[in-house]
Structure 1
């Protein structure tokens, strides 16, 4: 099975509920997407609504990967950098693959689709690089490195997962030649 990717899907209740369910499932499986388990969809909903509002306003894009049944199995959000001296790169965030599909190459497929979308323009304008941050301590920087991203910075103990459990915020960059 492969995932089918769609950039800028229509925002409707099915999309909203699908992304919300994915985000909760990934978070509760220990994924580093802004929450620590246990988390409920209701707790995540305000963050998702902010993402969807940013999409409607035009500054954010969503890449969705659907499984063979059409269910949302992967996502990545892009945000344009609005600073006039940094508009040549975009932020990538909330990169998720459903736990049942992890370890099957779908994360690699998602990152390749992200890169294709940025390289071909597809409404991005001229993007020369993609920047992301990830939570240290989980090996995520190794995953992103295999996708071509390079670590360009690290803020020690910037993410507090729990009292006494601080993680580095790892800054990574993919330069698009």
Structure 2
């Protein structure tokens, strides 16, 4: 089974609800996507709405992966820099694969689609690198390293997941040129 990827899908209730459900399920499973369990879809909704507003403004674009049933199973949000000295790279946010699909190669497929999009999609012509941050202590930095991302910075203790549990904010970069 493989995912079917779509860049800039039409935003409507089905997509919105699918991304929200994915985000809630990934968070509940302990995924490092901005929340810690327990978290409800209502608590996640404002973050999703910020992404959707940024998409409507053209600052952010969504790559969505759908499973064989057409359900939202993976996402990656690209955010373009507005600073004129930094328009040659994009941020990658909210990279998620549904927990029921983890371990089956969907993460690999998503990261390949992310790189392919950044190299070939309309509007990405000036993009020379992808930058992301990830939460230390989760091992996800090793996942990204498998796809060529290199650690280029680290802010110790920048992420507080609970009192007394501070994690590093790891900055990673994938050059495309």
TM-score, length-normalised on structure 1?
0.99
Confirm whether residue 17 of structure 1 aligns to residue 17 of structure 2: yes
8 Å contact 1:5–1:113 — kept in the other structure? yes
Cross-structure match for 2:165? 165
Cα deviation for residue 123 of structure 1 reads 2.2
Task: Show CA shifts across 1:134-177 (max 9, x none).
Answer: 00001011000001100000000000000000000000000002
RMSD over aligned CA atoms reads 0.6
d(CA) in 2 for partners of 1:10, 1:124: 19
- The normalised TM-score by structure 2 is 0.99
Counterparts of 1:37-116 in structure 2, within 5 Å, are 37-116=37-116
Asked if the contact 2:119–2:125 (Cα under 8 Å) also holds between the matched residues in 1, the reply is: no
4+ residue runs of structure 1 moved beyond 3 angstroms? Answer: none
Partner SS for 1:75: strand
Gaps of 5+ in 1: none
Q: Please name the residue that 1:129 is paired with.
A: 129
Q: Between Structure 1 and Structure 2, how many residues are aligned?
A: 177
Tell me the SS of whatever aligns to 2:115: helix
